[in-house]
Structure 1
Amino acid sequence: MIGAGNMLETATLERRNRGPLYLQVAGIIRREIANGILKPSQRLPSIAELAQKYQVAVVTVRQSISLLEEEGLLLRQQGKGTFISSEPKIGKWLVLKSDWNSLLHHLEGKQTKSLAVSDNVPPPAIDVRIGHFEGAYRFMKRIHSSGDIPYALIEIYLSQRIYDLAPDEFDTSMVISVLSEMKDANTLDLHQSIFFTTADHETANALNLASNAPIGDVVRVITDKSGAIIYIGKTKYRGDFVKLEFTSRLHRK
């Protein structure tokens, strides 16, 4: 059965009343699968029971289940019910740390789709203590996917000088992965910050989420050894994909 903790989410769903209800219900179930609350091969309650739980119509639950089935998370068996897939296609958590390796490891095997590009775009406002701007930047808006699941909407501002060194690679591959393979990559500094917010209309549509679904809003800035800002990435991650993980060593006197 779905965990009791969803009582709060159900109330939130009713109060919010924004975006298609089937996406809101699907989002709750998806998060429980990602968090391990719903286990592989576990049977879901009946459609009628889910409809009563979330105070929505039966047809809404059917739409939610169909969506999650398309994503490879659920499996319907005639006469038996609906089950969590034995191997749910939930992408690995994006574990946010302060090092390059965890980010690069996460990007392995992921896909990118271009939505928009533009040259000579002014960069967004950034804390001046991080570094100084270059003269021109190339703007790229993309969707990142894991398998068939879109998990991030990203706006990238890449130094035109750096872009011109490998335009084909930057246009078709993960930008940070390309940067990591360039000369002097070991002298680059990565700055990142995260904000917890909710999906606006554009983000919800791009990531197949309900409006106001929880997301992680991550800003990454990469500077070179001179302090020049060569990369700014503003990424909106779906809330069932981002995991913060910090390790601290306690020194005792």
Structure 2
Amino acid sequence: MSRASSSPIPLYLQIADSLRDRIARGVWQQGEIIPTLEQIADEFDVARVTARQAVQLLMSEGALTPQRGRGTFVSATAPTLKPVQVVTTLAALVEMYQATTQQLLTVEENRRRPPITTADGVLAEHYVHMKRVHSSDGLPYCVISLYLEDKIFSMSPDRFREELAIPTLVELSPRSIAKARQTLTIGSADAETARLLRVPTDSPVARVQRVFNDLENVVIYYADVVYRGDAVKVEMDLGSLPVKNSS
């Protein structure tokens, strides 16, 4: 299995990411010996020194432990995320947020207008912008840049700063939401997002853009949410094919 040499990410980081994923998925169990450096180098078609760098990185993270004369063993099971279900209604979205325990870290707050298009609606005069990291059990799973119309934010600034924005918005001003929609796309993490999510740069991510409008089509809430690729679950009921009568 050859690694993509054209990637801007160093080879040893690419390999470390693959090895880390094996631990997270349980392919390599805690207490199990991993392949030798020579075997890893052969598998990824790299030099032995590159394989060593990847393994040493996981050692520094505490995921692997060398034992003299025996080899290198999996010392800890990588933390796993409970997947976030992609829902398709506002009610289900509120219910999902209310049913989860999350830690919020605000990394930026300022006055800024959302980067909307004319198709999204009409801009209000002022917005409050907050950039946050959402974590579950101490593990970050999404970075969100959200914009709230200033009039709504001023209803309860402390709550909007300390609690999840959507359930708070629905509770404080439910009639303000005349229309709500979201778009899901797949991409890769930039350097800043990767740092906040603790994943390698260019790791797969799911990007969700949400727009809420009032009766006058004014955008009262806009959010750009970037989820770790391993934190998203999309499940759809496709139904069944009609059974043909063979008689």
TM-score calculated relative to the size of structure 2: 0.77
The DSSP-based 3-state class of the residue aligned with 2:209 is strand
The DSSP-based 3-state class of the residue aligned with 2:193 is helix
* Structure 2 residue identity aligned to 1:118: N
2:187, 2:205 within 8 Å by CA — same for their partners in 1?
A: yes
Residue aligning to 1:231: 221
1:44, 1:83 within 8 Å by CA — same for their partners in 2?
A: no
Residue aligning to 1:111: 103
Residue aligning to 1:4: none
User: How do 1:235-250 residues align onto structure 2 when only pairs under 5 Å count?
Assistant: 235-249=225-239
Of structures 1 and 2, the one scoring higher in RCO (CA 8 A, sep 6+) is 1
Which one has the largest radius of gyration? Answer: 2
* Structure 1 residue identity aligned to 2:32: R
> Do the aligned partners of residues 157 and 89 (structure 1) sit closer, same or farther apart at CA in structure 2, a change above 3 Å counting?
same
Residue aligning to 1:176: 166
> Do the aligned partners of residues 64 and 122 (structure 1) sit closer, same or farther apart at CA in structure 2, a change above 3 Å counting?
same
Q: 2:207 aligns with which of 184, 202, 217?
A: 217
Residues 1:60 and 2:60 aligned together: no
> Do the aligned partners of residues 27 and 225 (structure 1) sit closer, same or farther apart at CA in structure 2, a change above 3 Å counting?
farther
Residue aligning to 1:143: 133
Q: Kindly state the Cα deviation for residue 102 of structure 1 after the two structures are TM-superposed.
A: 4.8
- Structural RMSD (CA): 3.2
Overall identity of the aligned pairs, in %? 26
Gaps of 5+ in 1: 1-6
2:101, 2:136 within 8 Å by CA — same for their partners in 1?
A: yes
Mapped partners of 1:31, 1:233: distance in 2: 29
Gaps of 5+ in 2: none
Mapped partners of 2:179, 2:30: distance in 1: 44
Residue aligning to 1:3: none
Mapped partners of 1:215, 1:152: distance in 2: 9
The DSSP-based 3-state class of the residue aligned with 1:155 is strand
1:190, 1:220 within 8 Å by CA — same for their partners in 2?
A: yes
2:206, 2:228 within 8 Å by CA — same for their partners in 1?
A: yes
**Per-residue Cα deviation, 1:22-75 (whole angstroms, up to 9, x for no partner):** 5433433444556x46276483623523354333231322213543x4xxxx46
Mapped partners of 2:93, 2:66: distance in 1: 38
Q: Kindly state the Cα deviation for residue 109 of structure 1 after the two structures are TM-superposed.
A: 1.3
Residue aligning to 1:46: 35
**Per-residue Cα deviation, 1:185-226 (whole angstroms, up to 9, x for no partner):** 695543111221112222222222222221112111122355
Mapped partners of 2:16, 2:138: distance in 1: 16
